[in-house]
Chains A and B, each alone.
Chain A
Amino acid sequence: MTSTLRNPVTEQDHSTGNPHAEMILVEYGDYQCPHCGIAHPFIKKLLKEFKGEFRFIFRNFPLQESHPMAMMAALASEAAGKQSKFWEMHDIIFEHQRSLSPDAILHFADKLKLNETQFEKDLRNKELLEKVEDDMEGGLRSGVNGTPTFFLNGKKVNSYDESYDSLAALFR
């Protein structure tokens, strides 16, 4: 089976860290997946410890049948992205992963001082839905079989074992 990223990183991707770094770490994640919740602080720590050394991309992979709030959370991050607050929404969702609800998401938008009318409109924006579905399709084509799945410079990371060290080892 292939273990390479089929759809290359583009400007459409949500990216943080050093935009010019040679190392690019891509995560396929689901906001309601507890394993992604475990990985979230690891990524934050990596971005600090290896500051400037890599670029981090997050792509949505919402497993909707298992996680009823996953799609709405994915759309919320994309909608916040429209107001340049993708990563702020990304963080707040993961930090409150266990209490996600439509109300909670509207509350996050309020906390991030997003334009509420626009945000609610974007939650129903077809283009954003297609973007999430495209992310998902690209992940499926690349052999993502669960979340989180990481790719470093296009190659699937098989060494991650839910520990910070297993991720940090990629950069040491």
Chain B
Amino acid sequence: MILQKGTIAPDFELYTTPDQKLKLSDFKGKRLILAFYPADWSPVCSDQMSLYNETLRLFHKYNAEILGISVDSKWCHMAFEENRNLHFPLLADFEPKGEVSRRYGAYDEETGESLRALFVIDEKGIIRWSHLSPDSVNPGADGILDALEEMDKTK
């Protein structure tokens, strides 16, 4: 099962470009959306990431940043980002493979890929919403936006 609401978000430190790593604590004081997904280039993942690309403006309105995470390498991510004009970081859960995905309960041992799981983390590093989609379903942005709005209400 993926980590649920109320859990402290496990730390991570992963490559986002060939020479830069990002960690959870880099986003303290901000809200963070983690979008685990199976694979760069696959059709559903591409649609999902392209959709989030178009939703960035709205995410920022709620003081939230978004990171995509898959087991693909940093070089693969770089090519994928360039090809799809993505304007948010993708993290490589590459070595040890799937380690961070496992920590979030979002790793598929059989396929060796991350599950399609979403997490919304608050300014203090607590998971406030999570959602697991079937691999073939693009979960859209509505659940994330609802969660962010709810956080605004209960602040």
Contact surface of A with B, Cβ cutoff 8 Å: 1-2, 63-66, 133, 136-137, 140-146
Contacts and interface: CB of A to CB of B under 8 A. Distances in A.
B4 interface: no
B6 interface: no
A1 B87 contact: no
Contact of A141 (B51, B57, B142): B142
B48 interface: yes
Contacts of A133: 57
B55 interface: yes
Among B50, B86, B142, chain A packs the most CB atoms within 10 A around the CB of B142
Among A2, A140, A141, A146, chain B packs the most CB atoms within 10 A around the CB of A140
Given A65-B50, A65-B54, A140-B55, A145 B84 contact: no
A145 B48 contact: yes
B138 A146 contact: yes
A125 to B, nearest CB: 19
Q: Label chain B's interface by main secondary structure.
A: helix
Interface string B93-131: 000000000000000000000000000000000000001
Given A140-B55, A140-B58, A146-B138, A63 B50 contact: yes
A143 B53 contact: no
Interface in B9-29: none
Given A2-B146, A140-B141, A146 B54 contact: no
B85 interface: yes
B144 to A, nearest CB: 9
B140 A143 contact: yes
